[in-house]
Every structure is written in structure tokens, then in C-alpha cells.
């Protein structure tokens, strides 16, 4: 046996090493997230790799072990530098694709830290935009900065409802969901991004879930319509949230704020690792906000009707999609009364609380005045649950190319 191995050690080593690097490379290309700065992976490719990630990992590790086994019979097959390069590359690819995403985007679905408005003043600037969730009078505020890396934040019920906030920094979008589909509980965690929008996954079923769709990938592929229940969210400055909801809760990322993250002596790895990840994420978000082109070159459809990075308040009623810009709404002295998907809606800017609100109007009478809380001349109105507050136009239009703009 040994003479055979010795004789074919060279093709055994390089063949097995090639398979190991190719398998690990696939994991890196489609699951490492940051790889898509340079490589455009089609959805089909990413999903195939995701569903076969454990098999690819096994192939990569076994092939790498076989390569080293072949090398052990003839150490002269390759130089120490070449071997070191292969080992480092293999470790980097495998770590980046299979391990790093779960460390750098540690979700806080059930153990999110929420503090009082007074405590939050230490961490939030007065003019910092916050994504607000108000359920039955219980309110929470989440800033883009605090949500950026966990991507999923909650800690149980709010206002008697099971709800969690999901966030995508590339889309500039927070969406609140009940983490259930067809009555089955989900355990949401970040997976990666596709077309500049967050893809989560359910730890129970293993299924990917696109944030903007709120549906499992398998259900979409099979033409199913089952999805998570969406809750109304809106934006306002933190100082205005404090005025409107003095008893509200405010989210803090416990591995971002100085008072909560582990010290070097408590966890040396995270003490070094997290600041590096923060810098990488901050760079990507600044790049997305300031450049005309998307940070990740994976947008399939570009719509020239608005500049790419215009912030829009997109919504739908059924299959009818509309997007509004803040400037358009603010230029109207009175609320905009319109119809979307056969429903009467009201779109209004509240100057007191510096917030754009979109409400259902079940009455035949038009709304001529309405306040931040939905009190109007026709009664109390409820917010539209499908509003995506302040998302980048290029991403909204990519996912919903049929969208109308600034309908009146």
C-alpha cells in the first residue's frame, strides 16, 4: 500500500488539495457575505451552496486531510512556503464561509438589551434617526448603528405580541415581524445578503428568509404565499421619540457599547475581533450611503426614476406597490389622500415629531388633518403595516420594480 501511495503521492496531494480549496472557495464565495464586494453570486448559486454547506465542508476537510496524508509519504512534494500558503488559504476560506458569519452577526432575537429613554440618552444623539415599533402603546426605538451587526433584535413580547426587529444596513431598513410562519415558531439569525438586502435563516428548519419578502426560500420557489406577519414601523429623531414615548424602550447592542462589551481580559478574542468587524461594517455602510452605485454589485434591476440612494417610504396593499419620498410629502400642506390596492390611505408629515406616517382610512370622508398618533378629523387611524421607512430607492425598486412613485 505504501509504495502505491508514494508513487502517486504528487497527484494525490495536488488533486485532493485542489478539491479542498475549491469546496472551501465555494463556501467563501456564496456564504462569506463580504466576498460579494468583488464576486456576484446568483441567488441560485448561493442557495445551492447554503443547502449543501455541510456536505461541502465535509468534502473540503476530508480532501484536505487526504492531501496532507499524501504529503506525509513524500514531504519533498512541495516547499514549506507553498504548503503554508495552501494551509492559510484553506483555513481562511473555510472560516470565512462557515464560521465567521455566525460570529460577526450575533443575533439578539430573544436576549436583546432594552433600556429606558433616560439611560439611552448616554448612547443616542438627540438627532439620531430611530426605527420605532409601537404595539398597543408599548414602544421601542432602534438606531441604525445599534442594529447594524446583530441584524435581529428582540426579547419576547411587546404590547402582548411576539415581535422582533430585523435590520439591513445595506438597505437602510428596519422591519418588524412576528417570527412565525403558518403558526410555527422561527429562530431567526442573519445568513448573508443578496441584492443588497439581508437574508436571514430559520435555525429550526434551516430555510433562508429574505428580509423584504418575509418568506422562506422554499415557499417562494414552490409558489407559496405563507409569510411572517409584518408590523408598522416608522422613523423619527431619538429626541422626538423621547417626547412621544417617555416610557418607551431603547435597544442597545451589548457587544458595541463600551459599558457592556467584554473587556480584553474577559474575552480577548471578541475584544480584538468586534472593533475590526465594526470598522468593516461602518466602511460598507458609509460607502452605501455616499456612492451612487451599491456597495455590493448584485442589483439586478435599476430604475432611473429617482436617484439610486434616495430614501423612500415604500409600501404595498396586495400587489399594488407605491413609494414616497420625504420631500414630496413635506411639500404638501395637508395630508395626501390616495388609494393603494383598493384601500384608502393617508400620507402625512408630522412637523412636531419630525416623522412621516402612512395610515389606513376606512372612512369615505377624506382626511384634512391628522397628528403623529393617528388622530384625525375622521377618527383614530391605524398605521399601514407594510411601510418600509427610509429604504434606499435602488434596492426597493430592485425587489419591487412594479412600484409607483409619490401617488396622489
H-run or E-run covering 131: strand 129-135
Q: How many C-alpha atoms does 32 have within 13 Å on its Cβ side?
A: 19
Under 8 Å between Cβ of 127 and 113: no
Instruction: List the pLDDT tens digit at each of the 408 positions of the chain.
Output: 455 555 666 777 788 999 999 999 999 999 987 777 777 788 899 999 999 999 999 999 999 998 888 777 666 667 788 889 999 999 999 999 999 999 989 999 999 999 999 999 999 999 999 999 999 999 999 999 999 999 999 998 999 999 999 999 999 999 999 999 999 999 999 999 999 999 999 999 999 999 999 999 988 888 888 999 999 999 999 999 999 999 999 999 998 888 888 888 888 999 999 998 899 889 889 999 999 989 888 888 899 999 999 999 999 999 999 999 999 999 998 999 999 999 999 999 999 999 999 999 999 899 999 999 999 999 999 999 999 999 999 999 999 999 999 999
Report the C-alpha gap between 258 and 179 in whole angstroms: 30
Those residues whose C-beta lies under 8 Å from the C-beta of residue 312, and which sit 6 or more positions away, are 306, 323, 324, 325, 388, 390, 391, 392, 393, 396, 405
Element containing residue 54 per DSSP (H, E): helix 53-73
Domain limits, the chain: 2-103, 113-252, 311-405
Strands of 203-279, DSSP E? 208-210, 215-216, 229-231, 233-237, 249-252
pTM of the predicted protein model? 0.92
Q: Are 205 and 215 in contact (CB under 8 A)?
A: no
Amino acid at each position: 500500500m505504501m509504495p502505491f501511495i508514494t508513487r502517486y503521492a504528487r497527484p494525490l496531494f495536488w488533486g485532493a488539495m485542489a478539491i479542498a480549496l475549491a469546496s472551501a472557495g465555494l463556501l467563501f464565495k456564496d456564504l462569506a457575505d463580504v466576498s460579494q464586494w468583488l464576486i456576484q453570486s446568483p441567488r441560485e448559486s448561493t442557495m445551492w451552496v447554503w443547502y449543501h454547506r455541510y456536505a461541502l465542508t465535509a468534502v473540503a476537510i476530508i480532501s484536505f486531510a487526504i492531501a496532507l496524508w499524501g504529503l506525509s509519504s513524500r514531504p519533498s512534494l512541495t516547499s514549506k512556503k507553498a504548503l503554508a500558503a495552501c494551509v492559510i488559504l484553506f483555513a481562511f476560506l473555510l472560516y470565512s464561509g462557515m464560521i465567521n458569519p455566525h460570529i460577526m452577526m450575533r443575533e439578539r432575537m430573544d436576549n436583546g438589551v432594552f433600556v429606558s429613554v433616560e439611560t439611552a440618552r448616554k448612547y443616542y444623539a438627540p438627532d439620531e434617526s430611530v426605527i420605532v415599533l409601537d404595539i398597543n402603546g408599548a414602544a421601542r426605538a432602534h438606531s441604525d448603528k445599534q442594529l447594524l451587526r446583530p441584524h435581529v433584535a428582540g426579547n419576547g413580547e411587546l404590547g402582548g405580541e411576539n415581535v422582533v426587529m430585523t435590520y439591513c444596513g445595506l438597505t437602510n431598513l428596519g422591519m418588524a415581524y412576528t417570527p412565525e410562519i403558518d403558526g410555527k415558531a422561527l429562530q431567526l439569525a442573519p445568513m448573508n445578503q443578496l441584492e443588497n438586502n439581508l437574508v436571514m435563516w430559520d435555525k429550526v428548519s434551516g430555510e433562508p428568509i429574505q428580509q423584504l419578502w418575509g418568506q422562506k426560500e422554499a415557499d417562494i420557489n414552490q409558489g407559496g404565499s405563507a409569510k411572517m406577519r409584518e408590523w408598522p414601523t416608522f422613523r423619527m429623531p431619538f429626541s422626538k421619540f423621547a417626547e412621544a414615548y417617555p416610557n418607551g424602550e431603547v435597544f442597545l447592542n451589548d457587544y458595541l457599547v463600551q459599558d457592556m462589551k467584554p473587556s480584553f481580559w474577559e474575552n480577548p478574542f471578541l475584544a480584538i475581533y468586534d472593533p475590526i468587524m465594526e470598522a468593516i461594517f461602518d466602511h460598507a455602510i458609509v460607502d452605501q450611503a455616499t456612492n451612487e452605485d451599491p456597495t455590493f454589485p448584485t442589483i439586478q434591476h435599476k430604475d432611473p426614476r429617482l436617484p439610486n440612494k434616495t430614501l423612500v417610504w415604500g409600501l404595498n396593499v396586495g400587489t399594488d406597490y407605491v413609494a414616497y419620498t420625504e420631500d414630496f410629502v413635506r411639500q404638501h400642506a395637508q395630508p395626501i389622500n390616495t388609494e393603494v390596492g383598493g384601500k384608502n390611505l393617508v400620507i402625512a408629515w408630522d412637523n412636531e415629531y419630525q416623522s412621516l406616517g402612512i395610515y389606513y382610512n376606512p372612512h369615505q370622508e377624506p382626511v384634512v388633518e391628522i397628528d403623529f398618533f393617528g388622530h384625525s378629523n375622521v377618527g383614530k387611524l391605524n398605521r399601514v403595516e407594510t411601510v418600509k421607512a427610509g429604504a434606499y430607492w435602488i434596492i426597493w425598486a430592485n425587489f419591487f420594480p412594479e412600484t409607483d412613485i409619490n401617488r396622489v
